[in-house]
Chains A and B, each alone.
Chain A
């Protein structure tokens, strides 16, 4: 990279939805603007206010359907009058919209058009029942496949991946891996007060994760615990240059450095090249690691896009931590737990923390910023000196839009 890019001053709202005791689907709830403003204001407060911001970017997937609201870039000034008449753009790449917001901010800093970018990601999904939400989310797939797809379209797509993995490597073996992924996710979420599963009190997570899927009420090869949550939430972070850091008056050690990224697209009209491989994820991660000039053994932690447990297992393989077919074992053996070789999703990921779709990419950056700067509270993991890196992997659709970012702890 031609100049240094940092991220700092992250903030996550609560991931609101079933599981949170304050969530009541029958009562009116905060809307899109509330989440945008809560996250935006929190980040602005940490960076000395809106006057320091050159431009903003907002990632969101489907507010037009979930909230009957388009034109989200123009909602940015509602965060603070100081953002009025400043540049702002909205980006969309399905569930990788948040990741695209990061990329957009990084590119603005690299291009020199901005020294301080406010990046926000948001989604408010609990406005409709699950079967209608499935319609909205299905727009992340090729529209001509919708008719033959499952009522719960994306659970159906990933159920097909799980089925293929079962058939290739064994059902019981796979199920154990999926259940362990679920268990880790919930245990990590219990350490993060903003997580949707923070209050989960289940005493036998493994048994819950082992629940036999039932195609009559859901999909054939995944149970409901294999799925990420339906969430309302927003995240925000500042993307800044060295000059930007000076302007906002924050020490480098309070920030993380972006040292590599990969953002790639696969043809939306094509079926997956392989049901048991996240091909696009693999490409994006390789690009990011190459740009960072590091190998994966330098990573202290990974935030991966576990929209479904099977996506978590497949990610361990796409990232090269496990060989094809060995991802389930890698997870079952505890390697991805918070005390394992490579802790994944230390605040619960999409399954445990929540998945406000358009916010997820930004949430991942905030989590890594917290972990690499020692701000993760109860969820803090040890960041070894020889492994000062973190990786985020944000996926849109069924492995179609990918954003991988490598971050480095700043000494």
Chain B
């Protein structure tokens, strides 16, 4: 059993950010249900939502309210049971309203780090920068008399680095959520070798209660998710060179993106995924990983793009900013021409790319298969035909598949994880792939 004294005052650092807001929501959901249990009626639970501006914190509260409302509406049967003793709450509307109000009342928005000095549990979701993270941790550690536990959402920095630099005495764990945390099922958990066991127990219980899929990863920079994704994107970028003589830059980008989406049955191509995550974020993660690993993980292209202010990422309303592509209602509209520093309409580039790649082995897509109950049969059939085809698209696709398998296998041999299964789970749940990279299709 987790000691509730240890988890009843939570602080979320970077609460108004893309990841922080989701983490705040999950904490609110978790603690509000604990708070509603009769045995906890004399406890006060608190969640400090800490971020830099009042304006963002106000918008955050509205966002959290809308998420809580959706959750409550979906879980009305369970909620009525939770509120069974409250004779004043009769209709669903009243129960939902009461739940939202009680949950929001737990949150204390704050622009001051000092609020975290009263917390027993510190969730961190600030910028992926070791100096910034350790500075915050150290300050809290020095000033917080409660000897708090720390949970970092870092997707690439080794947890032990944070532990040592901030002198946290092993009271830290990696708890890497996927975007958006409110919806995404995956959490990568990175425990220290001699870390706090109670903290680990808490993380797993927290995840379980919220219906998350927890995958343990070892404490090696990038862990499983970025360990795979960064090598995947570097391979995609490397591939561009192969087409240098036959195709323009924009044509090559479109070609590799189409290949990785349509021939590999992924929800988006590798360059679109970089846009989604943010070219700046990808570049940043590569830099962090490069610091800790002997392998050369570096892309000149991404750095040059950032110099040209081509950064991708998303606007506050969830729409995509220009990156390798620009988008209209989620669909690629234009492709970046690196030499001319301008975007070209996709229609001008697509015919040549399609002619080169040739047709798909079967008329299937990520969407069509993901909705089908016979998923594994369809995938086997698709990739079997792909191995038998001589078109450039199919051959490149198989080469890509083999490379992905190698990347996946290397994560196991390098000790990032102890199991093929974990690699596959992360790619399937965290990246919405239909199949894991370590498979029998190639």
Partners in one complex: yes
- Residue B311 at the A interface, CB < 8 A? no
- Residue A273 at the B interface, CB < 8 A? no
- Residue A216 at the B interface, CB < 8 A? yes
- Residue A131 at the B interface, CB < 8 A? yes
Contacts between chains A and B (CB distance < 8 A), count: 27
Assess the A146–B77 pair: CB atoms within 8 A: no
Complex partner residue of B76 from A138, A146, A151, A215, CB under 8 angstroms: A151
Residue of B nearest to A217 (CB): B77
Binary contact readout A117-149 vs B (1 if CB under 8 angstroms, 0 otherwise) = 000000000000101101100100000001100
Assess the B92–A132 pair: CB atoms within 8 A: yes
Give Cα A216 to B74, complex, Å.
11
- Residue B55 at the A interface, CB < 8 A? no
A60 to chain B, nearest CB (A): 21
Task: Kindly identify, within residues 192 to 251 of chain A, every residue whose CB is under 8 Å from any CB belonging to chain B.
Answer: 215-218
Interface residues on A, range: 10 to 19
Residue of B nearest to A143 (CB): B90
Complex partner residue of B93 from A132, A147, A216, CB under 8 angstroms: A132
User: Which residues of A are found within 8 Å of B73, using beta-carbon distances?
Assistant: 129, 131
A223 to chain B, nearest CB (A): 15
Assess the A151–B92 pair: CB atoms within 8 A: yes
Decide yes or no: A146 and B93 within 8 Å by CB, A129-B73, A217-B77 being known contacts: no
- Residue B91 at the A interface, CB < 8 A? yes
Chain B CB count within 10 A is highest, among A132, A146, A216, A218, for A132
User: Which residues of A are found within 8 Å of B79, using beta-carbon distances?
Assistant: 151
Give Cα A217 to B74, complex, Å.
8
- Residue B141 at the A interface, CB < 8 A? no
Chain A CB count within 10 A is highest, among B73, B79, B91, B92, for B92
Assess the A131–B92 pair: CB atoms within 8 A: yes
Residue of B nearest to A138 (CB): B91
Binary contact readout B69-92 vs A (1 if CB under 8 angstroms, 0 otherwise) = 000010011011000000100111
Decide yes or no: A147 and B87 within 8 Å by CB, A129-B73, A216-B77, A217-B77 being known contacts: yes
Binary contact readout B56-80 vs A (1 if CB under 8 angstroms, 0 otherwise) = 0000000000000000010011011
Chain B CB count within 10 A is highest, among A129, A147, A215, A216, for A147
User: Which residues of B are found within 8 Å of A217, using beta-carbon distances?
Assistant: 77
Give Cα A147 to B83, complex, Å.
10
Binary contact readout B206-249 vs A (1 if CB under 8 angstroms, 0 otherwise) = 00000000000000000000000000000000000000000000
Assess the B76–A131 pair: CB atoms within 8 A: yes
User: Which residues of B are found within 8 Å of A218, using beta-carbon distances?
Assistant: 77
Task: Kindly identify, within residues 143 to 177 of chain A, every residue whose CB is under 8 Å from any CB belonging to chain B.
Answer: 146-147, 150-151
User: Which residues of B are found within 8 Å of A129, using beta-carbon distances?
Assistant: 73
User: Which residues of B are found within 8 Å of A135, using beta-carbon distances?
Assistant: 91-93
Residue of A nearest to B88 (CB): A147
User: Which residues of B are found within 8 Å of A150, using beta-carbon distances?
Assistant: 77, 80
* A residues lining the B interface (CB < 8 Å): 129, 131-132, 134-135, 138, 146-147, 150-151, 215-218
List 3 A-B pairs, minimum CB-CB distance, nearest first: A135-B91, A151-B76, A131-B92
